[in-house]
Structure 1
């Protein structure tokens, strides 16, 4: 019963990380498409959207929003990783002793 709860926490953590990443990519791509026409810059916005917050064209409110998304992304990843560790400990079956 307890192991299933951590399985749910794994799914929730990974899902939250994916949703935050998609929201950050959408916001970063919107900012980059207004300011730059370079294909490489647009690709970088998809690969690491949180780098847009350091651009000179970004307002302080938008940079703060990206910072909050970055913190939330890492918290979601940490929840997923911690849940994997607990789940693996709860479901571990030691090998049988052979004599």
Structure 2
């Protein structure tokens, strides 16, 4: 299932159709005081700060992007007006995992 933007469902495991050898994956969870935050927006910004994509965190607080190799910023916008930026490096064949505490 996909949401309105065409992104795959945000689940804990990669979809079976993903060949990690050919993908650079950025994924993570959003938590507040040890509890997952669903319904937060995770935005992917390129090295120049330009908006690239956005997904909504799942019921488990998970977000995932398939990105080109390089440096990225993930900006999480959560209920209550909270905005947190995290920098990450994506590399083909790897999953860059983030834990965002708000």
Tell me which interval the TM-score lies in, with the shorter structure as reference length.
under 0.3
Greater C-alpha Rg: 1
Structure with bigger helix share is 1
Which structure would you say has the larger RCO, counting Cα contacts within 8 Å and 6 or more residues apart? 1
